[in-house]
Structure 1
Amino acid sequence: MTVSTEETGGTAQQHAGGGASPEKLLAPVLSAFWDQPESWTLETYRRHEGYEGLRKALAMPPDDVIAYVKESGLRGRGGAGFPTGMKWQFIPQGDGKPHYLVVNADESEPGTCKDIPLLFANPHSLIEGMIIACHAIRSQHAFIYLRGEVVPVLRRLHEAVREAYEAGYLGRDILGSGLDLDITVHAGAGAYICGEETALLDSLEGRRGQPRLRPPFPAVAGLYACPTVVNNVESIASVPAIMNKGKEWFRSMGSEKSPGFTLYSLSGHVARPGQYEAPLGITLRQLLDMSGGIRPGHRLKFWTPGGSSTPLLTDEHLDVPLDYEGVGAAGSMLGTKALQCFDETTCVVRAVTRWTEFYAHESCGKCTPCREGTYWLVQLLRDIEAGKGRAEDLDKLQDIADNINGKSFCALGDGAASPIFSSLQYFREEYERHLGGRGCPFDPARSTAWADDPTDAHLEVNA
């Protein structure tokens, strides 16, 4: 996998367009030098003020580092948006137990592709952030739990950790601070459920990845029954810049309750998909203006603000601020900022069916609502898509999703229910057009392929 201007649209600085000012709309920090030769090396990272934030953090008492990150307003970039500093603060001190930091790099939410490019192009930002975090929570051992399929990223992470050891940033008495720290890179076996923090911890301990009943929470009894902080890659990688440039600088971007910069993964029927690093609160309309908009001759029909497990939105929500409060007020969740865009040639029923098949396949089977509910949702959706559904099936879909939502062991069940609720809310009429033996009115080929024939781009969708 490579991070190139052709395949991913390049860095945030290269994405400005459509009359927009990159200085005002984009904030390349994590992605500032992704496109430079050997961006992943320690030498390149040092040229861009690498490990300067660490030096400042090590000169501060651990509790002051926690307070500083807390005051910056940094919120978790993995989906829930929980304040990072507050999560660190939950770790009990003076308990006589080892403390652990676990970085969740098991990125597998459909549509999300920010952590893997970040690790591939700039792994030292994560390592520096981990050292700062371990200093803050008084940890001497940290883990990176990576998806096992991304072998090139695994190799690059191992090399970055080796470089950090060789330069004295890891190991014994880091930079003369008295801090000892080891980092272990662990490759998972490729299970979506292991993105859930307690299932990840079970997998890391060598057991089957299934969510734990809480309480106790990981901050009290996490990895090896010891106090543990589990953070997303982007959350930890954002810390060095905060420590180096200051909390006021970080708060100067974004909104009051959702400050700072973040990576937006723009994909689907857009002219230039890729990673767009911008302050929280930017709108999809602004991002589309910079990315060339929806593919020529088509219009936006629906989109997800945070991956397929967040309620979908429509073209009416183009100006919703993409921060935690703005998207929440619109009835969805910011999640992982995976902006999947679909044009008018896409069948909503088909898209929701494919997502639900994914959740049914990835369900760990531990709890009944998720295990049974996702199975039956798939059966109903397949029948509806094929034209075999009945009018009462739509109410049955809603009922099953309601029996899953909020009643499963972890958030996988809630994620499976989200596209059901939202698609029925906005596109119930489209579901009804599939019923009574009529089947799907959309041509699947046209929803996934570019229109090579200029006249084809303006054809009406068959009713």
Structure 2
Amino acid sequence: MTLAAEIHNGTSPEKLLAPVLSAFWDQPESWTLETYRRHEGYEGLRKALAMDPDELIAYVKDSGLRGRGGAGFPTGMKWQFIPQGDGKPHYLVVNADESEPGTCKDIPLLFANPHSLIEGIVIACYAIRSSHAFIYLRGEVVPVLRRLHEAVREAYEAGYLGTDILGSGLDLELTVHAGAGAYICGEETALLDSLEGRRGQPRLRPPFPAVAGLYACPTVVNNVESIASVPAILNKGKDWFKSMGSEKSPGFTLYSLSGHVTSPGQYEAPLGITLRQLLDMSGGMRAGHRLKFWTPGGSSTPMFTEEHLDVPLDYEGVGAAGSMLGTKALQCFDETTCVVRAVTRWTEFYAHESCGKCTPCREGTYWLVQLLRDIEAGKGEMADLDKLNDIADNINGKSFCALGDGAASPIFSSLKYFREEYEQHITGKGCPFDPARSTAWADDTNTDGTNAHRGVNA
């Protein structure tokens, strides 16, 4: 039975949640090894070590687990690509450089339950026959870095890392590396360059990381949530995992709900749930306002509108509707938000974070920002809308990595759904959502007479 059918049959929305990774985030000292063990921690590892590495890869592949970092590539298949018997060291690199605007799932997971990742790392390294793993963490999140270091120390002390892990003969060293805060390092090959001590820029592929990754050796690069999901699959079984979600997108995942909603936060649910159902659980949009537009997977995915509230939030459903599930960052904006302003701010971010390696992205994002700023300020011309579309088209699919595609996505989708709003900025010589000009703000004043949501469009 689908999630929509369960709702139709009277199932409480809250019962559709599937707390696995977040099951004990609210408990005292949830991040400690003691708490993790109380919740069957490292039991999945024991079961994995009793299997043959190739059998383990096949098991994870058969579970249907797909990468939770954006692209949704099957995790077991990625492990399977590592060549065996090549005489080279194999590496596992966990991408914890969470930088996508609106995305906030990996950092809370690492802060509240780091041992789920560590256990998953040991299982993955056993499968791909690796003796050294790396966690590339976004360096600004110092409290998470400290907590992760402590969790790694606990794991070494308990014998889950180091030599002869649980008497299996597996030796594994785990290194936590703090990045310097570059969005581009979320791209896996740029991350590898950064980890090697070079400037973070995407590499030309092929060769792919599975053949020549870190230090030119076979490497698997996985997202935090992807690896952290593996222990539960081993402990509770692949059939249990496949009983959730949809046929091609099985399992549970973390949805980051933010923006103009009553109760923003992390909602762990089976893949295929809808935004309407998540809003029902979170109290809906803020009082007195309605949904205007939203992103299904962060600002680099094409935006949706109110008409997409019932799109299944899995890889196939979102893709069929014209966007990408991405990192499942559900940013919700109400009718007081200026689309042009929001897209301008996102584009400024991409222009700033472009590494500059390729011309389409380096030059294209710069000119997109110039045009958008003029339009927002009421200085644009109608011809600028076609220029926006043309420049975005010259970036999309023609840049060195997916950053260019991500910068073009909000342009295409906002012009598709809100072209009239762009035109209003041009014909009206300014933003119709300016508090001094718009009636949309009439009910949003504080007791002192200032605008309650000036920060949104200030």
1:116 partnered with 2:107: yes
Q: Using the TM superposition, give the Cα deviation of residue 460 of structure 1 relative to its aligned residue in structure 2, in angstroms.
A: 18
- Contact 1:13 1:32 (C-alpha < 8 Å) held by counterparts: no
CA distance change for structure 1 residues 19 and 34 in 2, over 3 Å: closer, same or farther? farther
Compared CA separation, residues 387 and 90, structure 1 to 2 (3 A): same
Q: Following the alignment from structure 1 to structure 2, what is the Cα–Cα distance between the partners of residues 449 and 78? A: 37
Deviations 1:352-383 (A, max 9, x none): 00000000000000000000000000000000
The alignment's TM-score, normalised by the length of structure 1, stands at 0.93
8 A contact 1:77–1:234 mirrored in 2:
yes
- Within 2, Cα distance between the matches of 1:324 and 1:275? 19
Structure 1 residues 153 and 450, CA, compared in 2 at 3 Å: closer, same or farther?
farther
Distance 1:383 1:139, change over 3 A: same
Structure 2 contact 45–123 (Cα < 8 Å) conserved: yes
Instruction: Report the CA distance between 1:24 and its aligned residue.
Output: 3.6
| Cα separation, partners in 2 of 1:296 and 1:446, compared to 1, 3 Å | farther
Deviation at 1:448, TM superposition (A): 15
1: CA distance between counterparts of 2:10 and 2:282? 12
The 8 Å contact of residues 264 and 278 in structure 1, kept in 2 or not, is answered as yes
Question: 2:433–2:440: 8 Å Cα contact kept in structure 1?
Answer: no
Measure how far apart 1:435 and its partner are: 0.5
8 Å Cα contact 2:68-2:226 kept in structure 1: yes
Q: 1:166 to 1:457 in 2, by over 3 A?
A: closer
Report the Cα offset of residue 451 of structure 1: 9.2
- Judge conservation of contact 1:389–1:437 (CA < 8 Å) in 2: no
> What secondary structure is seen at the aligned counterpart in 2 of 1:119?
helix
CA contact (8 A) 1:3 1:121 kept: no
Measured against aligned partners, the alpha-carbon deviations of 1:64-115 in whole angstroms (never above 9, x if no partner) come to 1100000000000000000000000000000000000000000000000000
Gaps of 5+ in 1: 5-11
Shift of 1:21: 2.6
1:309 paired with 2:304, answer: no
Q: Of 258, 270, 277, which aligns to 1:279?
A: 270
CA contact (8 A) 1:106 1:194 kept: yes
Question: How big is the alpha-carbon RMSD for the aligned residues of Structure 1 and Structure 2?
Answer: 4.4
Please give the per-residue CA displacement for 1:177-214, whole angstroms capped at 9, x wherever unaligned.
00000100000000000000000000000000000000
Query: How far apart in 2 are the matches of 1:100 and 1:259?
Result: 27
For the structure 1 residues 246 and 41, does the alpha-carbon distance in structure 2 shift closer, same or farther, using more than 3 Å as the test?
same
1:150-177 deviation line (CA, Å, top 9, x unaligned): 0000000000000000000000000000
| Aligned residues of 2:377 and 2:431 also touching (Cα < 8 A) | yes
Shift, 1:216, TM fit: 0.2
Q: 1:357 to 1:74 in 2, by over 3 A?
A: same
Give the 3-state SS of the residue equivalent to 2:333 in structure 1: strand
Calculate percent identity across the aligned residue pairs: 91
Give the C-alpha shift of residue 321 in structure 1: 0.2
In 1, distance between residues paired with 2:439 and 2:203? 39
Shift of 1:450: 10
Query: Could you tell me which of 391, 404, 423 is aligned with 2:395?
Result: 404
Runs of 4+ aligned structure 1 residues displaced above 2 Å come to 1-4, 12-15, 18-24, 443-453, 455-463
8 Å contact from structure 2 (residues 341, 457) kept in 1: no
8 Å CA contact 1:441–1:462 kept in 2: the answer is: no
Q: CA deviation at 1:438?
A: 1.8
User: Residues 460 and 433 from structure 1, CA distance in 2 versus in 1: closer, same or farther, beyond 3 angstroms?
Assistant: farther
Deviation for aligned residue 1:20? 5.8
Give the C-alpha shift of residue 2 in structure 1: 34
Distance across 2 between alignment mates of 1:13 and 1:160: 39
- Whether 1:346 aligns to 2:337 is yes
| Structure 2 residue matching 1:456: 3-state secondary structure | coil
Contact 1:451 1:457 (8 Å CA) reproduced: no
Cα distance change on mapping 1:212 and 1:262 into 2, 3 Å: same
| Count of residue correspondences | 453
Structure 2 alignment gaps of length 5 or more: 445-449
Change (3 A) 1:373 1:131: same
Task: Render the CA deviation track for 1:26-50: whole Å, top value 9, x for unaligned.
Answer: 0000000000000000000000000
Helix, strand or coil for the counterpart of 2:426? coil
Task: Report the 3-state secondary structure (helix = DSSP H, G, I; strand = E; otherwise coil) of the residue aligned with 1:374.
Answer: helix
Q: TM-score, normalised by structure 2?
A: 0.94
